[in-house]
């Protein structure tokens, strides 16, 4: 029986740099191993994927397959069954790579050890480890290497986020010999993404928002990552920008559990925008955030997934 071709895909809402890196690099690895594969995204690229990165040589499709049952599927940077691409045939998912907790048992029951949901800062780290596992690391393309390196830098906030693991640091060091990026790439990447975010902040917020239920409470949570967020935070209309980006009615925002977290990498801290007293109390306790009005500050950097994990842990209730 002929082996089915493989589609690598992720969530349906948007494509961030980690998703892009994982999908493009893993497609390349599968082809190096003699398998037929393609990458399919229906969501838009968010602001973590700047114009300069989109110009790299990548083979990506945006077309939904006509006959979804003709393919097997690999999911990257996602494991929540409620959010991956709608065309995916769940029974034909053969691998899952993710670093978001919560659905480990679900996938282990379905596909066993092919569910690789692990605590690392970047899902791209898991993909690099697959290259090493199959002894293909010296065959990775410059584009694949550049993407994985950039995704690790972005998803660990340049190794400053507490979720950064030894595996992330090792992967970034190992892949450096294969990249073709300038020495100042980290600053260049963050400043470019910052410029794109600040040119259309409401769109950037809308394209990086998650609506979810944690311990029976509804949350609406957006994130931005800036090199330095001071100027943006000091805008007189920052609350209005956040509410419009999140599509929240300005008359009802006090009643909703919402917040916008903004990582200010150069300052090594987060700013939190919210008008929810419930959220303020949660983040004061679990992040040590200090609020003045609707703006809070933390003493260290946090990724949204780290905040979600803290909110989701039973011991905090």
Residue 314 has pLDDT above 50, yes or no: no
Cα separation, 147 vs 23, whole angstroms: 10
Whole-number average pLDDT of the chain:
93
Two domains, one topology: 6-189 and 201-316 = no
CATH topology of domain 201-316: Diaminopimelate Epimerase; Chain A, domain 1 (3.10.310)
Cα separation, 192 vs 185, whole angstroms: 10
The per-residue pLDDT for range 10-54, each reduced to its tens digit, is 998 889 999 999 999 999 999 999 999 999 999 999 989 999 999
The per-residue pLDDT for range 265-303, each reduced to its tens digit, is 999 999 999 999 999 999 999 999 999 999 999 999 998
Q: Whole-model pTM?
A: 0.87
Cα separation, 208 vs 228, whole angstroms: 18
Mean pLDDT value across residues 199-217: 88
Domain ranges of the chain: 6-189, 201-316
Cα separation, 140 vs 175, whole angstroms: 9
Residue 162 has pLDDT above 80, yes or no: yes
Structure tokens at 74: 């690999």
Place of tokens 């550049």: 146
Structure tokens at 68: 């979804």
User: End-to-end alpha-carbon separation of the chain, Å?
Assistant: 52
pLDDT of residue 251: 56
CATH superfamily membership of 6-189? inorganic pyrophosphatase (n-terminal core) (3.90.1640.10)
The per-residue pLDDT for range 92-145, each reduced to its tens digit, is 999 999 998 889 999 999 999 999 999 999 999 999 999 999 999 999 999 999
């Amino acid at each position: 029986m002929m082996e089915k071709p493989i589609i690598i895909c992720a969530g349906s809402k948007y494509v961030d740099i980690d998703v892009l890196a994982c999908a493009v690099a893993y497609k390349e690895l599968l082809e190096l191993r003699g398998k037929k594969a393609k990458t399919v995204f229906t969501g838009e690229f968010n602001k973590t994927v700047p114009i300069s990165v989109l110009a790299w040589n990548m083979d990506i499709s945006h077309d939904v397959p006509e006959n979804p049952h003709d393919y097997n599927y690999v999911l990257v940077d996602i494991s929540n069954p409620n959010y991956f691409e709608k065309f995916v045939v769940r029974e034909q998912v053969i691998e899952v790579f993710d670093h978001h907790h919560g659905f480990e048992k679900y996938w282990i029951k379905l596909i066993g050890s092919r569910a690789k949901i692990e605590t690392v800062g970047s899902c791209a780290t898991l993909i690099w480890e697959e290259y090493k596992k199959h002894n293909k690391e010296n065959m990775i393309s410059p584009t694949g290497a550049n993407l994985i390196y950039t995704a690790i830098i972005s998803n660990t906030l340049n190794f400053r986020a507490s979720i950064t693991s030894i595996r992330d640091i090792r992967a970034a060091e190992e892949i450096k010999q294969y990249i073709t990026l300038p020495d100042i790439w980290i600053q260049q990447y963050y400043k470019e993404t910052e410029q794109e975010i600040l040119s259309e902040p409401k769109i950037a917020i809308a394209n990086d928002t998650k609506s979810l239920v944690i311990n029976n409470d509804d949350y609406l949570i957006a994130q931005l990552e800036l090199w330095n967020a001071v100027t943006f935070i000091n805008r007189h209309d920052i609350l209005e920008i956040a509410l419009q980006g999140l599509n929240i009615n300005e008359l009802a925002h006090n009643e909703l559990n919402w917040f916008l977290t903004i990582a200010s990498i150069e300052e090594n801290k987060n700013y939190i925008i919210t008008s929810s007293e419930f959220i303020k109390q949660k983040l004061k306790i679990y992040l040590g955030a200090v609020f003045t009005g609707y703006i809070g500050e933390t003493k260290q950097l946090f990724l949204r997934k780290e905040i979600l994990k803290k909110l989701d842990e039973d011991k905090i209730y």
